[in-house]
Structure 1
Amino acid sequence: MDLAGLIVFATALFIAAASPGPGIAAIVARVLGRGPQGAVAFSIGVALGDVVWLTFAVLGLAALAQAFHGVFLIIKWAGAAYLLYMAYRLWTAPAEALDTRADVAAESPVRLLLGGLALTLGNPKPIVFYLALLPTILDLTQVTMLGYAELVAATFAVLGVVFAIYIGLAARARRLFTSPRALRALNRGTGAVMAGAAAAIAAR
């Protein structure tokens, strides 16, 4: 793929990814409520979901995705249910236990990754970007295997930068809350944000 096309894609993806949506809300709420532990695994799952939709777009499988609408509907509800579960955990977790080793160890990286993947597969925002907007940005019929690999690499790079910025800012903001009362309020506030992200996905 030519450099100009790759830059256009990366720029459009950066703008789309950086704009707040259910995915960003879930990542930020998770870091604010639980700390940065596990955020990488969850973010990788979110990015893998983007690659799935990118693959559908490059292969011209938008019609197939529509045909399997029921499957993706189930995935959407699974992602929303996972976000609600995380919201419940955030709302009910004791403030003093947020950073303990036991609490962190209880969260499986694989489960976090799958949760992020389900979130993106059911999130209308990346679906619209890859299946509706991307074909107007790039001539996907001319994408070779090498070009596809470059697009995947660009996707991981752009999303990695965006997610790292949000995770870093959220982690820094979280350190401002030191008292148990403040941590409990933050915990419940981020749980509410997480529940809102689940509702946004389920409603679309």
Structure 2
Amino acid sequence: MTIGPSELLLYAFALLVLFLTPGPVWVAMLARALSGGFSSAAPLALGVVVGDILWPLLAILGVTWIVSEFAAFLTVMRWIAVVMFLFMGVMLLRHADRAIATDSRLTRPGVWAGFVAGLVVIMGNPKAILFYMGLLPGFFDLGALTRPDIVAICLISAIVPLIGNLVLAASVGRVRALISTPKGLKRLNMTAGFLLVIVAFVIPFT
């Protein structure tokens, strides 16, 4: 492998911070856990895993091809990653008390419906690959990645959100209380926003 432990840890931390930003999947996880318990919410988390593996893989393959044609592309994308994290962090801080939008497709009952809902929310967003194309070059030299490196990146991209979603489903009462009040939601978003800004300032020195 060409990737060092520090690079993987920083990437995992960034994914964790992104997960801590409440969104429609949070609402769906909580709704399913409230209606059917952990066993109802877990299939949605598993459905999301499919996209969490596929999108970074497609982004790596696409960026690797581009790098073979344009040598300076990675440098440009590295700074784009910095701007992305800064933008997301600042927007979270500015709109920390904004309510989370819901999506009824994600809350239909049933194990299969839960799995499909996870697929819908992650695969129905083709902008995800553009997100990863901007994110990954900030952490790794994609032109030098080996197959074990790619496997490690895809596994971390899947495992971090999966663990987060399963913990979220298991802690439904506490998390629901946290994001159901404007004060709690604002505190969580502000924490995530500050952490995203910190990640943005760390990337240029890794």
Question: TM-score normalised to the size of structure 2?
Answer: 0.57
Out of 155, 162, 165, the residue aligned to residue 164 of structure 2 is 162
Out of 10, 13, 31, the residue aligned to residue 12 of structure 2 is 10
C-alpha offsets along residues 82-140 of structure 1, whole Å, 9 cap, x if unaligned? Answer: x42455x5xxxxxxxxxxxxxx7xx2x34422220121122478445412222222222
Residue pair 1:50, 1:126 contacting (<8 A) in 2 also: no
How far off is 1:15 after superposition?
Answer: 0.8
Output the aligned Cα RMSD: 3.1
In the other structure, the counterpart of 1:31 is 33
In the other structure, the counterpart of 1:44 is 46
Residue pair 1:36, 1:171 contacting (<8 A) in 2 also: no
Write the letter of the residue equivalent to 2:137: P
Write the letter of the residue equivalent to 1:84: S
Residue pair 2:59, 2:129 contacting (<8 A) in 1 also: no
Out of 111, 121, 124, the residue aligned to residue 123 of structure 2 is 121
Provide the aligned length of Structure 1 versus Structure 2: 140
Write the letter of the residue equivalent to 1:29: A
Once residues 18 and 122 of structure 2 are traced to their aligned partners in structure 1, the CA distance between those partners, rounded to angstroms, is 13
Large movers: runs of 4+ above 6 Å: none
How far off is 1:157 after superposition?
Answer: 2.5
Structure 1 counterpart SS, 2:62: coil
Once residues 21 and 147 of structure 1 are traced to their aligned partners in structure 2, the CA distance between those partners, rounded to angstroms, is 29
1:84 aligns with 2:104: yes
How far off is 1:156 after superposition?
Answer: 2.9
Distance 1:154 1:14, change over 3 A: same
C-alpha offsets along residues 25-61 of structure 1, whole Å, 9 cap, x if unaligned? Answer: 2212221233222221110111211111111111116
Once residues 172 and 143 of structure 2 are traced to their aligned partners in structure 1, the CA distance between those partners, rounded to angstroms, is 40
Residue pair 1:57, 1:140 contacting (<8 A) in 2 also: no
1:60 aligns with 2:58: no
Once residues 17 and 24 of structure 2 are traced to their aligned partners in structure 1, the CA distance between those partners, rounded to angstroms, is 15
Once residues 49 and 115 of structure 1 are traced to their aligned partners in structure 2, the CA distance between those partners, rounded to angstroms, is 12
Structure 2 counterpart SS, 1:148: helix
Distance 1:57 1:159, change over 3 A: same
Residue pair 1:62, 1:131 contacting (<8 A) in 2 also: no
In the other structure, the counterpart of 1:197 is none
Structure 2 counterpart SS, 1:167: helix
Unpaired runs of at least 5, structure 2: 66-102, 181-206
Residue identity over aligned pairs, in percent, reads 29
In the other structure, the counterpart of 1:131 is 133
Once residues 54 and 122 of structure 1 are traced to their aligned partners in structure 2, the CA distance between those partners, rounded to angstroms, is 15
C-alpha offsets along residues 129-160 of structure 1, whole Å, 9 cap, x if unaligned? Answer: 41222222222222211011111222232123
Distance 1:168 1:128, change over 3 A: farther
Unpaired runs of at least 5, structure 1: 64-82, 90-103, 177-185, 187-204
Residue pair 1:32, 1:173 contacting (<8 A) in 2 also: no
Question: TM-score normalised to the size of structure 1?
Answer: 0.57
